[in-house]
Structure 1
């Protein structure tokens, strides 16, 4: 069984998906884009600004489950432009601590957003901690 996780402090969209679901020891966070949670306006015009906002939105949702970015074990990222990968990596590395989560980053068309990120968190321990 899975349990929905919802944060009113994260961006709200009128789309048919859960912000996150807890399934056993894992929390699966739906893809987040770089929008302000209150205005739902895109934050900034750069990949760095939007990447940081995506991760902050994920952090807000994880906090509802008493988790942090340090609980993330897997990231999937979708970037609109191939040339944004260096800026994405720079912004990503500024918030994510080592050991870094496993990650897949793909260039694809995602409309007007520069990046969308989803995450899987392991609720039992933080990355790098022993069980």
Structure 2
């Protein structure tokens, strides 16, 4: 599989260092669509802080990817649903840390979650 970053500089606003406009995937045999994943522990309890929930989300995403014999290196697209706009910076930092600094196409939205103590939900698309 080959992953090519497509980040045009002409005719579109510049991407920042934590995301790219597009990724082209060539030769992928499999696609994995991961539903929104919350910062819940194995018993279904949410982390008490935003940082705890972000840590749990990325741990949960890694476990889901592993079940498909994939890693975070296979992530090609990511959408974050934030309960509050002020969560954006911590979310971006956690994403970049989890991806080892590799930017991917990403969208962050502010949305009301189903339960008040669910602070962030993240869905990903992976290819392999």
TM-score, length basis structure 1: 0.70
Residue 48 of structure 1 contacts residue 90 of structure 1 at CA under 8 Å; is this kept in 2? Answer: no
Query: Could you say which residue in structure 2 is the equivalent of 1:35?
Result: 40
**Equivalent of residue 71 in structure 1, options 58, 74, 89:** 74
Deviation per residue, 1:75-99 (Å, 9 max, x gap): 0110001111111122222211243
Distance between the aligned counterparts of 2:112 and 2:67, measured in 1? 30
SS in 2 for 1:27: strand
Q: How many residues align?
A: 98
Identify if the C-alpha distance between structure 1 residues 98 and 86 changes in structure 2 by more than 3 Å, giving closer, same or farther: closer
Q: Aligned-residue CA RMSD in angstroms? A: 1.3
- The answer as to whether partners of 1:52 and 1:92 remain within 8 angstroms in 2 is no
Aligned to 2:31: 26
Cα shift readout 1:37-77 (whole Å, capped 9, x = no counterpart): 2x1101232x2221121121111011011000110000011
Match of 2:53 in 1: 50
1:84 pairs with 2:87 = yes
Q: CA deviation at 1:102?
A: 1.0
Q: 8 Å contact 1:36–1:42 — kept in the other structure?
A: yes
How far does residue 28 in structure 1 lie from its aligned partner after superposition?
0.4
Give the structure-2-normalised TM-score. 0.71
Greater radius of gyration (CA): 2
- Are residues 99 and 93 of structure 1, via their aligned partners in 2, closer, same or farther at CA, if it must alter by over 3 Å? closer
Where has structure 1 moved over 3 Å in runs of 4 or more?
A: none
